[in-house]
Amino acid sequence: MLFGSGKYSYRVIETWATLPAGWEWGWIPAVACDSRDRVFVYSRSEHPLVIFDRDGNFLEEWGQDILQDAHGLFIDGDDNVYCTERNTHCVHKFDRSGRLVMTLGTPGQQGAADGDPFRLPTDLGVASNGDLYVSDGYGNARVHHYAPDGTLLNSWGSWGSGPGQFGLSHCVRVDRYDRVWVCDRENRRIQFFDLTGSYLGEWDDLAHPDTVFFAPDEDVVYIAELDQQVSIYDFDRTLLAQWGGQRKSETPGEFRACPHGIWADSRGDLYVGEVQTNGRLQKYVRVG
């Protein structure tokens, strides 16, 4: 059975990755691939960050005794790995060898005042100049802008549904034109900003967008949507492919619970992790 359409058609490999004996998956809110197509899986389990090759063979585990509550995951062009921890109010940066090199926020300590970083943050994106953007979405309706060295430069956002306001700033990513995309999940939209936080526009009427991924060198966005759906659009919002759709299903390739994390490797194969269920990580091999 194929999913998607046209050049964005896929066949699914449901039980793609094999954990070491005795390990178990929890919820899988995030997945990402580095330049070598190593697949990083960030889960709510006793082994939060585990790494596989593209065939699903276990390679190693990172962040033991550091990572506690998986939510967002991002890998930049230098293969630095950023793990956003929701309940501990921080973001950890690991280099390509797995060494912890920076932490934004104080683990276990939320922002002192409403709006201050962090209060249950959700994800991180990196701009072309190396600046960092963190969506601070469950306890704050904010996006925080940092210099590459971790200096806070700017913050924007407030609770609401107007331009620049958020019901839940759930993910932030920066496209190749340095537009900042923010998944405003509870308002069922994605908002767009420039690098200083000025509002540019939005896409509304989405199915509770959780996370976005941009295809390198293409004006294409992949969206994991909470309402059992994956959508692929070009930047003009032409729908290229879509599957799932507001019903839970045990059928491989569809969604048992809620798509939450999404990434594509260098061959265009997609990886989608789900929350509100344990152990659901599906690989979609591109055949289009």
> Which tens digit of pLDDT belongs to each residue from 28-53?
999 999 999 999 999 999 999 999 99
2-286 folds as: Neuraminidase (2.120.10)
- What is the average per-residue pLDDT within 57-71? 96
CA distance 173 to 176: 10
Residue 224's identity, in one-letter code, is A
Listed in sequence order, the residues at least 6 apart from 212 whose beta carbon sits closer than 8 Å to its beta carbon are 171, 173, 181, 183, 190, 221, 222, 223, 224, 262
pLDDT tens-digit profile of 94-107? 999 999 999 999 99
Instruction: Give the distance from CA 57 to its chain's centroid.
Output: 22
CA distance 2 to 126: 33
- Number of CB atoms found within 10 A of residue 267's CB: 10
pLDDT number for residue 215: 87
Q: What is the pTM of this model?
A: 0.97
Please name every residue paired with 191 in a beta bridge, in sequence order, or none if there are none.
Answer: 182, 202
pLDDT number for residue 15: 84
Instruction: Give the distance from CA 230 to its chain's centroid.
Output: 13
CA distance 279 to 43: 9
CA distance 130 to 117: 19
| Domain ranges, ordered by start, for the chain | 2-286
pLDDT tens-digit profile of 114-156? 999 999 999 999 999 999 999 999 999 999 999 999 999 999 9
Which position has the token pair 């006793």?
46
Q: DSSP for 69-134?
A: SEEEEEE-TT--EEEEETTTTEEEEE-TTS-EEEEESBTTB--SSTTSS-SS--EEEE-TTS-EEE
pLDDT tens-digit profile of 202-224? 999 999 999 999 988 899 999 99
The answer to whether residue 113 scores a pLDDT higher than 80 is: yes
Measure Cα distances from 134 to 170, 180, 218 in Å. 10, 11, 24
Kind of pairing between the strands at 81-85 and 90-94:
antiparallel
pLDDT tens-digit profile of 214-269? 988 899 999 999 999 999 999 999 999 999 987 899 999 999 999 999 999 999 99
pLDDT number for residue 2: 95
Taken as a whole, the chain contains a residue count of 288
Question: What phi-psi label fits residue 58: left (phi over 0), alpha (psi between -120 and 50 degrees) or beta?
Answer: beta
pLDDT number for residue 285: 98
Residue 247, both tokens: 């019903």
pLDDT number for residue 20: 96
pLDDT number for residue 216: 86
Phi, psi (degrees; rounded to nearest 5) at 164: 80, 0
Residue 39, both tokens: 């697949």
Give the residue from 63, 10, 7 showing the smallest Cα distance to 40. Answer: 63
